[in-house]
Chain A
Amino acid sequence: MGKQQSIQQEKRRKAIMSIVLAIICVIYMLPIVTILINTFKNAGAVKSNLFALPNAETFVGFENYVTGMTAGSFPFWKAVLFNVIITVLSAFLILLFCSMAAWYVARVNSIFCKIFYYLCVFSMVVPFQMVQFTLSKTADSLSLNTPWTIPIVYLGFGAGLAIFMFVGFAKSIPIEIEEAASIDGCGPLKTYFMVVFPMLKPTMISVGILEIMWVWNDYLLPSLVLDLAEYRNIPMHIQLTTTGSYGQMNLGAMMAMIFLSIVPIIIFYLLCQKYIIKGVAAGAVKG
């Protein structure tokens, strides 16, 4: 009798906990929902009461989205495009070259390799403000200031974390497998791409996600390096339009723009949630 009672108590406790958590969840999502609701209101209604639902008078349909996407001398869709270019190129460069370098460091293990490895670890501790001014000047002088060349800067500044994570994993790969490949007549390149590369896949996903999240959301580096009349990424564009230094924007369209810049992140998250959570946890433990 007593046991049954305690089981029932336990059940009730869990149900209450579920409800409490559900309420917190709803509160957690309110900021995004508020923005979403406001994307359908006209600018005046956004300004007068942010938390009112749109009514017949204030509802504007998808007009804000159209304005948000296309308005201004530098439309938002272009910023999205450049953001994609920069992120994809940077992630590709970082994953390919850092995994190669990490394998080299793990296998050759010379003094040079050790110094390089510790410099990489060191670079993770250094705050960006330390190199902010000098890096932007260096990038300018080497004309690494377009969306097509800025990934090289990302490769350099992002190498620390990537090398660190890849070396940790590459050391755990049994060397015998590679030696078997080389006995079978594979050169280093073939050994790398046919044998090592496939085994690095789980780490690739973790590193890839961390670097994609960083580059996609990065504001400071592109804003220092890119010529903002020609190229912008999403954070730069949001910053420039909201501060109004490059022309005021309709508040409703602003809401649509903010919402649109969140949507790709949510989609990306829902698609590869499992890997993202795993990658983030791995990065945290190691970094």
Chain B
Amino acid sequence: MKTTAAAADGAKANPVKKRKKAAYKSGHSSMTKRSLRKWSWLFIGPVFAAFIIGFIWPFAQGIYLSFCGKFSVISQARIKGFENYVKAFSDETFFHSFWFTALFAVVSVILINLLAFTIAYALTQGVKGSNLFRTVFFMPNLIGGIVLGYLWSMIFDGLLDLWTTQNLVDNETYGFWGLIILLLWQQVGYMMIIYIAGLQAVPDDMIEAAKIDGATKTQTLFRVIIPNVMPSITICTFLTLTNSFKLFDQNLALTGGKPGRLTEMLALNISNGYSNMATRGMAQAKAVIFFLFVAALGIAQLVATRRKEVQQ
């Protein structure tokens, strides 16, 4: 331990640094690099092997299968062109689930961010018990989607019993708002944490200066605070958007897509397609479309963030 501290100190001194630079140039320095390479099999081997099994191979196979005809085992699959994609695009349930998901995403992104920001703003005003409140609001986030779904389906059915004879799974509108409430309950706390971090990073003297200049609380909020937490807003918008589009467990456990397939979101729609041999190829094609869509969302997000960073 002593030697490492000394070495770190020594590195700070100028002459040593110069010598180091010279050493780098002569290609002499990377002692660690060269001896590390001999141990590749141990350091990177296991993860690489698991990564091929768990991701690369299934991913490549997935793309391949999306171009194949009917199959029950993968070895039977034969290339058949774009047939599955044509089928996917003419599947009405797929379109319905897309619009259902898109509407769901828009509503949930707006509501989650609005609530999370409001609560985070309230909690950073120095009210008593902020820590306790933060603890409580964040907690539902840790409960898994399946458990969460059943918990809420019981609560909703209990509530609906009080004034109707319908259950949550009997009505598309109930299902939609049920999913929204569930997701709010789960994710507001998470986004609140990110907003709190953003709000705490706003320099105090900036707010002070606005106050001295005679800005009201609302003016300070909209003209000073919100522009300064823009990065947090972008992150949260992106996270809620992708979370909503990828939502699966909660959907399966809360409504299971019922009534009929009316509350089926994209992920569940694709997943259900795999269980039937006749629709397996089409499901795989839908998955590729889904993947491209999510990736495009991600890239759009990245571009938007970059542009904002340049402006600042």
Bound pair: A and B? yes
Q: Tell me the A residues contacting B by CB distance below 8 Å.
A: 14-15, 17-18, 20-22, 24-25, 28-29, 31-32, 34-35, 49-51, 93, 97-98, 100-101, 103-105, 107-109, 113, 116, 119-120, 123, 125-135, 137-139, 142, 144, 152-160, 163, 174-184, 187-189, 191-192, 195, 213, 216-220, 234-235, 238-239, 242-243, 255, 258, 261-262, 265-266, 268-270, 273, 276-277, 280-281, 284-285
B125 and A14 contact, CB distance less than 8 A: yes
- Residue from B10, B50, B253 with most neighbouring chain A CB atoms (10 Å): B50
| Segment at the A interface, from B87-95, B103-111, B170-178, B289-297 | B289-297
Enumerate chain A residues within 8 angstroms of B134, measured Cβ to Cβ.
Answer: 277
How far is A119 from B47 in the complex, measured between Cα atoms in Å? 12
Top-3 shortest CB links A-B: A156-B54, A217-B144, A50-B158
A180 and B7 contact, CB distance less than 8 A: yes
A156 and B36 contact, CB distance less than 8 A: no
How far is A261 from B53 in the complex, measured between Cα atoms in Å? 31
A235 and B249 contact, CB distance less than 8 A: yes
Enumerate chain B residues within 8 angstroms of A116, measured Cβ to Cβ.
Answer: 44, 48, 51
Interface 1/0s, chain B 47-87, versus A by CB < 8 A? 11011111111110110010000000110000000000000
Interface 1/0s, chain B 13-43, versus A by CB < 8 A? 0000000100000000101110111111011
Give the total of B residues in contact with A, Cβ under 8 Å.
100
B56 and A119 contact, CB distance less than 8 A: yes
CB distance from A29 to the nearest CB of B (A): 6
How far is A120 from B50 in the complex, measured between Cα atoms in Å? 12
A188-B32, A276-B142 known; A131-B249 Cβ under 8 A: no
Smallest CB-CB separation from A180: which chain B residue? B7
B47 and A97 contact, CB distance less than 8 A: yes
CB distance from A117 to the nearest CB of B (A): 11
Q: Is the interface of B mostly helix, strand, loop or mixed?
A: helix
A17-B125, A104-B44, A105-B44 known; A261-B58 Cβ under 8 A: no
A134 and B32 contact, CB distance less than 8 A: no
- Is B219 on the interface with A (CB-CB < 8 A)? no
Smallest CB-CB separation from B136: which chain A residue? A25
